[in-house]
Amino acid sequence: MLKIQFKDGRGQPVALVAPGCTIGKGAINDIVIDENGVSGFHADIKVEANNVTVTDVETKTGTQLNGELLSGPTMLHEGDVIMIQGVELEIINEEIGANAKTLVLSGTAVQESSGGWRLIADSGPEKGQQIPVNELIEIGRALECDISILEPALSRKHAELEPLDGGLVVRDLGSANGTFVNAEKVDEQVLKDKDVLQFSKVKFIVKAP
C-alpha cells in the first residue's frame, strides 16, 4: 500500500486510499504543513483505482515533485518526493502482511476492563480481544485514534463510542463507507448487548456490563 510521510519523521504516514487526501496549512487537511507560504489547501492527491496523482491547487509558491514544479496532475510512484516550502514528503510502499495486526489500541482502549461496556474483536488476528469502553473513544484509520483499524476503507476519523446514561452510543463521523450495526448502516444508535458493530471488514461484538 502506498503511503505518504514526512521525510523528517514528524507525524504518522497517511495511506493513499480513495478518494485521496489534501495537503495544506489548514487543520482540515490530512497532511498539515504550518509554514509561511503554504496555502490553506496547497496540494491535492487523488486516488482512483491504481492511479495516484498529485496536483498543485493554483498556489503562489508552487509544489515540487522530485525537484520539478508541478504544472498539472502528475502520477505518483514509490520513492517520489513532494516538496512544499522546503518541507519534504516521500511516497513509500508499506504492505500490511496477512498476519499483521488489524487493531492498534491507545488511550482509554488499553485500560483494563472494569466491568463496563466492552467490544470483543470478532475478526482478524485479534479475534477474542476485549476492549473496554469506559469513556468517549474515537475509532478510525488514523493512528491517533483510541482504536486504530488498519483497513484502507476506513476514514481517518470514522466513528466514536460514548457511554451515556447507562447505555453505549455509536456515532458515525461522516465516514466515506459507513458504520454498521447488525448489518444496517447507522448514523447514531444506542447499542445493545450482543449487537454486531462493523467497520469495513472488521467486526466487534458488543458486550454490556
| pLDDT digit string, tens, across residues 146-159 | 888 887 778 889 99
- Give the model's pLDDT for residue 142: 83
Rounded distance, CA 46 to CA 37, Å? 23
3-state secondary structure 144-164: CCCEEECCCCCCCCCEEEEEE
Tell me the sheet residues that pair with 185. 180
Nearest CA to 207 out of 122, 111, 104, 107 is that of 122
Distance CA 114, CA 34 (A): 41
SS3 109: helix
pLDDT digits over 62-83, tens only?
999 999 999 999 999 989 999 9
CB atoms under 10 Å from CB of 152, counted, come to 14
Instruction: Give the model's pLDDT for residue 109.
Output: 55
Side-by-side strand order, sheet with 118-121: 130-132, 118-121, 202-207, 196-199, 179-181, 184-186
Q: Give residue 98's pLDDT band: very low, low, confident or very high (50, 70, 90).
A: very low
Angstrom distance (rounded) from CA 96 to CA 201: 15
* 155 vs 18: CA distance, rounded Å: 10
What residues have CB less than 8 Å from 14, skipping those under 6 apart? 3, 4, 5, 21, 30, 31, 156
Cβ–Cβ < 8 Å for 34, 49: no
Q: Who's near 55: CB < 8 A, 6+ residues apart?
A: 43, 44, 45, 46, 70, 72, 73, 74
Of residues 154 and 89, the one with the higher pLDDT is: 89
Look at residue 108 and tell me whether its pLDDT is greater than 60.
Answer: no
pTM of the prediction? 0.53
- Does residue 112 register a pLDDT over 60? no
What is d(CA 63, CA 107) in angstroms, rounded to the nearest whole number? 36
Amino acid letter, 135: E
Predicted local distance difference test score (pLDDT) of residue 114: 58
Per-residue pLDDT at 191 exceeds 80? yes
Bigger pLDDT: 72 or 17? 72
CA 135, chain centre distance (Å): 21
Question: Taking the CB of residue 156, how many other CB atoms lie within 10 A of it?
Answer: 19
